[in-house]
Amino acid sequence: MGMSRKTLKTTVGLIGSDVLDYTVGDDPTLDLALIDADCAGSAAHAVMLSRMPGHILSSAECRSVIRELVAVMRSARAGTFSITLADQDVHLAVERTLTEKLGDTGKKVHTFRSRNDQVAVDLRLFIREELFGLMDEAAELAGAFLAFARRHAAIPMAGRTHLQPAMPSSVGLWASAHAESLLDDLRELASVLDLNDQCPLGSAASYGVPAPIDRRLTARLLGFKRPVHNVLYANNVRGKHEARVLAACGQVMLTLARAAEDLILFTMPEFGYFQLPEDCTTGSSIMPQKRNPDVCELVRSRAARVWSRTVCAAEIARGLPSGYNRDLQDTKGELMDGLAVTRGSLRAFLPLVRGMKADPAALRKGFTPDVFATDVALEQVSAGVPFRDAYHYVKTHLDELGHRDPAEALRRKTHYGAPAGLDFAWLARELSAVRAAGKRRCRSAHAALSRLLGTRYPVV
Ligand code: ARG
């Protein structure tokens, strides 16, 4: 006695509805973010089909395919393109649309291609766009930290280790440390962008196809530097690549989390070193006086979230044998969330850094006499006392440390990278160099897509 099971007719056969629900997962929603990429990938593939021996598509058919793909992109912009459960994913939704519009021509587009290389190329194109935006946002925030550092370069701030008062420092050192951290994050993003710049299209199901397809041509048409060479590797690297992108996002979030933690602490009334702009804080429904640093707190929690997405993608990839496995589909949501959270964090943090104020009087109060203890010991060294003796002398006479001028103490720290030896101009140059390189890559990628689609990309 069998239970009657509902089934759905899909492009790839009859599938039981619970099984379809389960296997499709979040794809109908997540894949909406891949429509542009899927259409661009299909356009390049169609051009390649029209140029290869045997001309699977005629030039006229190829033009009509591209016209319909651009129409899909436009309808996605207008919010009128949908991916149904029976479609399963963006790839079959686009194929269904092409077939509805163009009949047999639409049915030919999937020749010599698999959804496996299709989704792989979609994700590379998606990641490329996201990295362009993310790098720009990270550079913008780095610039805001640098501007704050320059404006407050000489304002003394007690340096802390273990959160305990340590040595004389400056607001300029504190703020530009966060800017330099973002510079390194940007360099890492640039190297991930470079690794991303390899096209998996034409790898098909994981093993290539028995026809002379031109993978270099499709790579070039899509604005990639080169194809991924080995067709099996092109599929194996999915998931692993996502984990790499997410780890680079995680580095950005580590930078933000540290700055956020500093600000939560230093804006407490007990410190009062900095003040956040009013419209970047939130209030309480019961306590009228409250202005809470919620952005900083959420940056802290979302840094944890991005790292857990990273670990999840890596863990999915870790258990897999060579060749496409459906597990890989589950790395897609992790990737998209991690990128969105990182970019959102950068955008929310920017006005906070742009509008925050430093309070020199409150900062000065952080200079208890013990902050100068090391400086005093080092003065004895310049009078000829061995350092360890000077150290012990000061350690046993801490109550004799008098008040000193923090600004004067700062002026003596002139060596490379110290509070009075910071090269802000160098930092600014490095930042604008990585930013300009990202922008150049973006322009050339968009120019390639515009040529391919015969209309300006991004399509409006
Ligand atoms: N939605 C699928 C994914 O993201 C597309 C590839 C499906 N391929 C397959 N052989 N079932 O992985």
Residue 273 sits in a domain of what CATH number? Answer: 1.20.200.10
Cα atoms in the 13 Å half-sphere on the side-chain side of 314: 11
DSSP 8-state secondary structure symbol assigned to residue 357: E
Ligand 1 center from residue 294 Cα (angstroms): 39
Most ligand 1 atoms within 8 A of CB, residue of 34, 115, 207, 320 to mutate: 115
* pLDDT tens, position by position, 232-261: 999 999 999 999 999 999 999 999 999 999
Ligand 1 center from residue 111 Cα (angstroms): 17
Tell me, yes or no, whether 88 and 187 share the same domain: no
**Closest ligand 1 atom, CA of 27?**
1
Ligand 1 pocket member 126 (CB < 6 A): no
Most ligand 1 atoms within 8 A of CB, residue of 10, 85, 88, 116 to mutate: 116
Ligand 1 pocket member 116 (CB < 6 A): yes
**Closest ligand 1 atom, CA of 328?**
12
C-alpha to C-alpha distance for 331 and 326, rounded to whole angstroms: 10
Q: Other C-beta atoms within 10 Å of 177: how many?
A: 18
Tell me, yes or no, whether 143 and 272 share the same domain: yes
Tell me, yes or no, whether 90 and 194 share the same domain: no
Ligand 1 center from residue 385 Cα (angstroms): 72
Active site residue 444: no
Ligand 1 pocket member 329 (CB < 6 A): yes
Ligand 1 center from residue 112 Cα (angstroms): 16
**Closest ligand 1 atom, CA of 324?**
10
Tell me, yes or no, whether 257 and 347 share the same domain: yes
- The pTM of the whole model exceeds 0.85: yes
With a CB cutoff of 8 Å and minimum separation 6, the contacts of 314 are: 239, 240, 243
Tell me, yes or no, whether 237 and 353 share the same domain: yes
Residue owning the nearest CA to atom 4 of ligand 1: 329
Active site residue 284: yes
Tell me, yes or no, whether 352 and 237 share the same domain: yes
Look at residues 252, 113, 131, 116 and name the one whose alpha carbon lies nearest to residue 197: 131
Ligand 1 pocket member 118 (CB < 6 A): no
> Which of 284, 322, 432, 444 is flagged as catalytic?
284
Tell me, yes or no, whether 72 and 145 share the same domain: no
Q: Which residues of the chain have pLDDT under 70?
A: 1-4
Ligand 1 center from residue 325 Cα (angstroms): 8
Tell me, yes or no, whether 304 and 389 share the same domain: no
Residue 14 sits in a domain of what CATH number? Answer: 1.10.275.10
C-alpha to C-alpha distance for 294 and 292, rounded to whole angstroms: 6
Beta bridge mates, 15: 8
Ligand 1 pocket member 324 (CB < 6 A): yes
**Would you state the pLDDT for residue 220?**
98
Return the structure tokens found at 241: 């690549």
Return the structure tokens found at 292: 């809470």
**Closest ligand 1 atom, CA of 91?**
5
**Would you state the pLDDT for residue 3?**
59
Ligand 1 center from residue 118 Cα (angstroms): 9
Under 8 Å between Cβ of 228 and 203: yes
Tell me, yes or no, whether 135 and 157 share the same domain: yes
DSSP 8-state secondary structure symbol assigned to residue 103: T
Tell me, yes or no, whether 163 and 310 share the same domain: yes
**Would you state the pLDDT for residue 460?**
87
Tell me, yes or no, whether 151 and 262 share the same domain: yes
C-alpha to C-alpha distance for 358 and 266, rounded to whole angstroms: 10
Tell me, yes or no, whether 335 and 317 share the same domain: yes
**Would you state the pLDDT for residue 1?**
45
**Parallel, antiparallel, or unpaired: how do β-strands 7-10 and 164-170 relate?**
unpaired
Return the structure tokens found at 377: 């010991």
379 is in which domain, residue-wise? Answer: 369-403
Q: Is 161 helix (H, G, I), strand (E, B) or coil?
A: strand
Return the structure tokens found at 323: 């060749």
Q: How many structural domains are present in the chain? A: 3
CA 359 and chain centroid, separation: 33
Return the structure tokens found at 153: 């370069």
- As a whole-number percent, the residues of the chain with pLDDT over 90 amount to 96
Under 8 Å between Cβ of 327 and 319: yes
